[in-house]
Structure 1
């Protein structure tokens, strides 16, 4: 939400990609969008991939998971130069497919709030991939899981090997 480095610093440190977080609807939206545009230009100059993490958050946002809102967020990221867009999952395959189809770059889903059910995590990822999503970018639902290594293996299998939720649950040991 606030730039703390440059693309050039990322290159010096061996980064494979840089990321910018934008909250549409935030009082500082215009500053975040300007930062995204500047970083996108630098990424283009250096041939560095750019991940835009795009969320609808702020006082004017009624539902940051609404399909039309998520699609708008994704499209803004694309229009400002992102090579990959990260957005929340909309909750169902049909609406997320619409989000993905509105973009000409890969779309990955955020992990979202902590889920108590491994099945729910795996189902969300499975459905997002089936809807055309390119992958996932998860934090707490992996780091806070009691069997995180097995969970990562199961998530990889869903994303890269077309594994079913039941097969993925077996990988996790559930």
Structure 2
């Protein structure tokens, strides 16, 4: 079997073929913080996300049975393989809770792993990432590495050098896409992107104060050479999920400027 062909096919399902960019909406928060608003009825949320034109949703292995629709607009599927809960005394210590084979059985287009560099259990998470990328490569399965810096020695997880290091670790250990925090401006984030030969997407982080802030962050990250976004709560907890995703589509895949996106949102801003 030509696994390189398999990976190419799956990546073309996830990334827009014309722009080479991607919009992912993670829905894996139930393990970390429980059934928060927006992911209680996952099927309805996925419907809204697909209608808005996202390229993929991301969730744990037990949730496709609660969200598969059998009708409507298609959307890619990424299975998240690591987890921890906010109830734990060590919430940053992610452990593998699924396998590449689980994702294959579910018909997924990719898998994802969460790594917190700087945590006391960093070596275990790095080992897990290395194992997943090796196994995924043998099956032709793309890997999204969510790379953060969170630990006793981390003073600022958004620091340029720290984020560049995070992105580079994901690339070095075999990921096909890396997800990192946005560094705050076009000039600095362009340096993150230039240090990687694989696509770099931004995380949403904490709930932002306004939709305009989200649109501006995504716009600037794309201007810096970023490949799109992987944003959860700031999308699925929005009052008009589909409309927001259409605006994000305009920015990521349609090269809209910020004013166009803001105008399109109208009263749903």
2:158 counterpart of 1:62? no
**Matched-pair contact (CA < 8 Å) for 1:147–1:172:** no
| Distance in 2 separating the partners of 1:20 and 1:117 | 28
- Equivalent residue, structure 1, for 2:259: 166
- Equivalent residue, structure 2, for 1:24: 117
Report 1 or 2 for greater relative contact order, CA contacts < 8 Å, sequence distance ≥ 6. Answer: 2
> Which of 119, 140, 143 is the equivalent residue of 2:212?
119
- String of CA shifts for 1:21-62, please: whole Å, max 9, x gaps: 000001110000000000000011001000000000011100
> Which of 193, 197, 200 is the equivalent residue of 1:104?
197
Unaligned runs of 5+ in 1: none
TM-score by length of 2: 0.64
- Equivalent residue, structure 2, for 1:134: 227
Task: Please report how far the alpha carbon of residue 147 of structure 1 lies from its aligned counterpart in structure 2 after TM superposition.
Answer: 2.0
- Equivalent residue, structure 2, for 1:79: 172
- String of CA shifts for 1:75-131, please: whole Å, max 9, x gaps: 000000000000000000010000000001000000111112111110000000000
**Matched-pair contact (CA < 8 Å) for 1:50–1:82:** yes
Partner of 2:134, secondary structure, is helix
Structure 1: 4+ residue segments shifted above 3 A: none
| Distance in 2 separating the partners of 1:10 and 1:149 | 26
TM-score by length of 1: 0.98
- Higher alpha-carbon deviation: 48-57 or 1-10: 1-10
Partner of 1:86, secondary structure, is strand
| Distance in 2 separating the partners of 1:167 and 1:60 | 41
- Equivalent residue, structure 2, for 1:10: 103
Partner of 2:128, secondary structure, is helix
Structure number with greater Rg is 2
User: How much is the aligned-residue C-alpha RMSD, in angstroms?
Assistant: 0.8
- Higher alpha-carbon deviation: 81-90 or 148-157: 148-157
Higher helix residue share? 1
Unaligned runs of 5+ in 2: 1-93
| Distance in 1 separating the partners of 2:149 and 2:246 | 30
